[in-house]
Structure 1
Amino acid sequence: MAEEKQLTVDEFLKAIIDLDGRFELVRGVAYAFAGATEGHNVIWSNVLTVLVPSGKRKGCRTTSSAAVQTGPDTVRHSDVVVDCGPPNAMALTASWPTIVVEVSSSGTAVFDYDAKLREYQGVESINTVLEIESEIARVKVHRRQESGTWTDETVEEFGIAIPLTTLATSITLNEIYDTLEVKPRPRLQVVQNNPSKSM
């Protein structure tokens, strides 16, 4: 079996600059993603609608499908990235990403999200990672604390504000899933038999 060609970050970024679609470089190997569903696209569009104005007020730029370098030979393309670094129209990667949003879908399920999360957590500037489910109403929020440790929170209820302190704003599931019909995660119900009624 032929070995996969190893690419540097510069080689990868130059190779994909004129290509349609979404690609990532993982330990020197380039991968292409399958096309996203309408729900996936609507969610990141909804998130952009909420975060763009707040980002501007803080001097940050909020973009979709932005490249984030998470290692010497790894580049991830996140669904939404808030970049608070110096403006550079020619930049191919976010210079100071602070908030990263990943929207899950069947096309990305084959990738190890836990590994990707650890990479994001290893980037000094990133303080918040949102993992949004596209088929059920569920958001996992990962936040960096002042001590450098990370906390996790799962939000499954509509109407609850998810604080995004970097932008002095918040977002709710109502805004994230606006115009979509998503259901809560199924709950296990325990049915208890009454022995006295069965006699």
Structure 2
Amino acid sequence: MVIPEEEKLTVDEFLKAIAGHDGRFELVRGVAYAMAGAKEGHNVICSNVQTALVPAGKRKGCRTTSSDTAVQTGQDTVRYPDVVVDRGPANATALTASRPTIVVEVSSSGTAVFDYVAKLREYQGVESIDTVLQIESEIALVKVHRRQENGTWTEETVEEFNMDIHLPSLAVSITLNEIYDTLDVRPRRRLQVVKNEDTSGM
């Protein structure tokens, strides 16, 4: 489907259109799309991550905000990560993060594929972003994407609850225990293979 140019919005038009609107939207290549509502587990994870990152962010002169802070990932694309760490100049009236450094997306079964592909590429294209955390809300799993000094990105999958996830730009670590605190979220189920004992000698 090709959307006529005259029906597309600029970033400024989009931000003005959603001001005071009850629903939540993202701008993708000039088109505003509604965002699905979140379950309680999703919201608890966002709150836990903020609680863990806010003190470290303050020590570094950063602000850690929730999903109401926009990140412009392209000329006509605006995303709303679940958590944003912004190290740009403080501006109480800003509608977008001026220098996002860490973004967090909490996924569910309905959004994981899209978040892991489209949004990840967009975030990696933002020069100031050095870390992207993709957190599953229904199983204990976090994918950590880090920008290296040469500009390439590495990916790490964390499933152990006590393993430190290092966030160098904030000089802090976070664990799955903190991320999933108060939630009954379990690791991915693994296949248990029962091998028959060799009875050939009997």
Question: Same fold per TM (> 0.5)?
Answer: yes
| Match in the other structure for 2:42 | 40
- Whether 1:6 and 2:2 are equivalent positions in the alignment is no
Percent identity reads 78
1:157 is matched with which residue: 155, 160, 164?
160
- Whether 1:172 and 2:179 are equivalent positions in the alignment is no
Give me the TM-score of the superposition, normalised by structure 2: 0.92
**Structure whose residues are more often strand by fraction:** 1
- Tell me the CA shift for residue 187 of structure 1: 0.8
| Match in the other structure for 1:140 | 143
Indicate if the aligned counterparts of 2:131 and 2:145 stay in contact, CA closer than 8 A. Answer: yes
| Match in the other structure for 2:88 | 85
- Tell me the CA shift for residue 43 of structure 1: 0.1
Q: 1:81 to 1:112 in 2, by over 3 A?
A: closer
- Whether 1:190 and 2:184 are equivalent positions in the alignment is no
Indicate if the aligned counterparts of 1:21 and 1:35 stay in contact, CA closer than 8 A. Answer: no
Give me the TM-score of the superposition, normalised by structure 1: 0.93
| Match in the other structure for 1:70 | 73
- Mark the runs of 5 or more structure 2 residues left unpaired by the alignment: none
Q: Number of aligned pairs? A: 198
- Tell me the CA shift for residue 106 of structure 1: 4.2
Q: Deviations over 1:58-109 (max 9, x none)?
A: 1000000121000001001000000000011111110000000000024534
Aligned to 2:120, the other structure's residue is in SS state helix
1:103 is matched with which residue: 106, 111, 116?
106
Q: Deviations over 1:2-22 (max 9, x none)?
A: 947311111111111211232
Indicate if the aligned counterparts of 1:34 and 1:107 stay in contact, CA closer than 8 A. Answer: no
| Match in the other structure for 2:28 | 26
Indicate if the aligned counterparts of 1:36 and 1:105 stay in contact, CA closer than 8 A. Answer: no
Indicate if the aligned counterparts of 2:107 and 2:115 stay in contact, CA closer than 8 A. Answer: no
Aligned to 1:111, the other structure's residue is in SS state helix
Q: Which amino acid aligns with 1:159?
A: N
Aligned to 1:62, the other structure's residue is in SS state strand
Indicate if the aligned counterparts of 1:36 and 1:107 stay in contact, CA closer than 8 A. Answer: no
Aligned-residue CA RMSD (Å): 1.8
Q: Which amino acid aligns with 2:188?
A: R
Q: Which amino acid aligns with 2:114?
A: F
Deviates more, 1:186-195 or 1:85-94: 186-195
- Tell me the CA shift for residue 110 of structure 1: 6.7
- Mark the runs of 5 or more structure 1 residues left unpaired by the alignment: none
Indicate if the aligned counterparts of 1:34 and 1:108 stay in contact, CA closer than 8 A. Answer: no
- Tell me the CA shift for residue 113 of structure 1: 2.9
Q: Which amino acid aligns with 1:119?
A: E
- Tell me the CA shift for residue 193 of structure 1: 3.4
| Match in the other structure for 2:123 | 120
